[in-house]
Chains A and B, each alone.
Chain A
């Protein structure tokens, strides 16, 4: 069998560049970065697939790709049963609960029942509040959750932040942290068995390259 090992890379956003650089340091240079969804690499055993970071956990779970670089937060949100082989340490961010600065709420414990929460992370958000016995209404929005309180759509939001700048600009304050996330090298469980030698070798090169 001479199937190529497929590795998914975010097609845009803040994870794309460091992901490509990380692979290049490990000897896998993406050759057709700008032109294709599927690209050859300098290592003939691997090919690169460009996909939305959000969808990469699902691709890896179902084995549409063998490996994928994506955020730990997204792997949890998509409830993907994948192996997180390596913490790539870039793309660090925090998933936080935030309310308008003038809100009397100062902690998650004070969030009243039936509060509306706008978020791009509905599953993590639902789990988070359920575990704390809070009944909230989760509204899924894709991107710009920080607008929701301004428009009266929701009283609180759950969103990722890396510097806190966007929250500040939108006059929001953090009342709780759900999780800290970085990007990971995710691997399909069957693929790890099938391609163990190649993937172990790649991991060694990535570890060596990241030092």
Chain B
């Protein structure tokens, strides 16, 4: 937040790509467009809403024959026609650099093209330009984007696993502060689906799970802390239910032990094995050594 430089956009894209590769995904790609470039060019061409929908669908389907025909029928100026065709054919961001339009009504579009070029250079320095593809037709249903917009995907999953873009006028709407911003969101569920589709197996968690139960809150809190520090997944029984009920809850949540703690940790604690219902008294320190080791 607070920055509208191509470096900030580059940083966000680098973070996105490294997040996805770090979790183990392969063949990650990011498709990137510009939120208002297409809109501005369509406005410059004087298209009505219906015509805009037609152009967007021709672009999305990459139907260059259909696009050419449409532009001829709707008397696009030749410069604009070339720009549309070139942009719709660009797949790599650096191919965009050769495109510019003559005439003051294209000032905004030229500025946006320039910003894409700057972004391309930034991505090269981050060495992530290989991952990023240009998609002129990419627009978002969400209206607040003002600059780059993007979607991340892998070939094994048919839906994007994340996306985002630049939203420079959004924060202002919630107060007086005008703060440019750029960012992305990842869908954790889709990420897991994508990983699974690539053959990744989610490792079973070997950690022991314990519920600490006590009438004495201070010692219970202390015991939970010690167990967590020893690498155990420990939770505090925060309801006032009976031991029996806690054991039932432990079964549902696949907990290993319920540990009942007295007024002091200097006396033994009672450890109930949730599966076998067998209990034993043991010093907490001994239990920590058993579970933590």
A162 on the B face (CB < 8 A): no
A85 on the B face (CB < 8 A): yes
For A192, list chain B residues within 8 Å (CB): 62
- Which segment of B102-110, B153-161, B228-236, B269-277 sits at the interface? B153-161
B153 lies within 8 A of A62 (CB): no
B58 to chain A, nearest CB (A): 11
B133 on the A face (CB < 8 A): yes
- What does the 1/0 interface line of A100-126 toward B look like (CB < 8 Å)? 000000000000000000000000000
- Assess A1 versus B27: contact at CB under 8 Å? Given A83-B60, A83-B61, A190-B153: yes
**Once bound together, how far apart are the Cα atoms of A73 and B133, in whole Å?**
33
Q: Which of A60, A62, A85, A191 contacts B61 (CB 8 A)?
A: A85
- What does the 1/0 interface line of A37-66 toward B look like (CB < 8 Å)? 000000000000000000000001111101
B27 lies within 8 A of A190 (CB): no
B62 lies within 8 A of A196 (CB): yes
Using a CB–CB cutoff of 8 Å, the interface residues on chain B facing chain A are 27, 29, 31, 57, 60-63, 91, 133, 135, 153, 155-160
For A84, list chain B residues within 8 Å (CB): 57, 61
Name the 7 nearest CB pairs between A and B, nearest first: A63-B158, A194-B155, A188-B158, A190-B153, A62-B158, A190-B158, A85-B61
- What does the 1/0 interface line of A66-88 toward B look like (CB < 8 Å)? 10000000000000000111000
Could you list 6 further interchain pairs (A-B, Cβ under 8 angstroms) beyond the known A61-B158, A190-B158, A194-B155?
A: A62-B159, A63-B158, A83-B60, A83-B61, A85-B63, A188-B158
- Assess A64 versus B158: contact at CB under 8 Å? Given A1-B27, A193-B31: yes
**Once bound together, how far apart are the Cα atoms of A191 and B62, in whole Å?**
13
Using a CB–CB cutoff of 8 Å, the interface residues on chain A facing chain B are 1, 3, 60-64, 66, 83-85, 188-194, 196, 200
B62 lies within 8 A of A200 (CB): yes
A68 to chain B, nearest CB (A): 11
B29 lies within 8 A of A193 (CB): yes
**Once bound together, how far apart are the Cα atoms of A189 and B60, in whole Å?**
9
B62 lies within 8 A of A190 (CB): no
**Once bound together, how far apart are the Cα atoms of A192 and B156, in whole Å?**
12
A sample of 17 cross-chain residue pairs with beta-carbon separation below 8 angstroms, ordered by A number, consists of: A3-B156, A61-B158, A61-B159, A66-B158, A83-B60, A84-B57, A85-B61, A189-B158, A190-B153, A190-B158, A190-B160, A191-B155, A191-B158, A193-B135, A193-B153, A196-B91, A200-B62
**Once bound together, how far apart are the Cα atoms of A119 and B91, in whole Å?**
44
**Once bound together, how far apart are the Cα atoms of A84 and B66, in whole Å?**
13
**Once bound together, how far apart are the Cα atoms of A162 and B224, in whole Å?**
71
A71 to chain B, nearest CB (A): 18
**Once bound together, how far apart are the Cα atoms of A188 and B29, in whole Å?**
16
Residue of A nearest to B161 (CB): A190
**Once bound together, how far apart are the Cα atoms of A35 and B156, in whole Å?**
27
**Once bound together, how far apart are the Cα atoms of A124 and B122, in whole Å?**
47
B96 to chain A, nearest CB (A): 17
B159 lies within 8 A of A1 (CB): no
Residue among A64, A188, A190 with max Cβ neighbours from chain B (10 Å): A190
B133 lies within 8 A of A193 (CB): yes
For A60, list chain B residues within 8 Å (CB): 158
Residue among A62, A188, A193 with max Cβ neighbours from chain B (10 Å): A193
A190 lies within 8 A of B61 (CB): no
**Once bound together, how far apart are the Cα atoms of A85 and B155, in whole Å?**
19
A63 lies within 8 A of B157 (CB): yes
**Once bound together, how far apart are the Cα atoms of A90 and B29, in whole Å?**
36
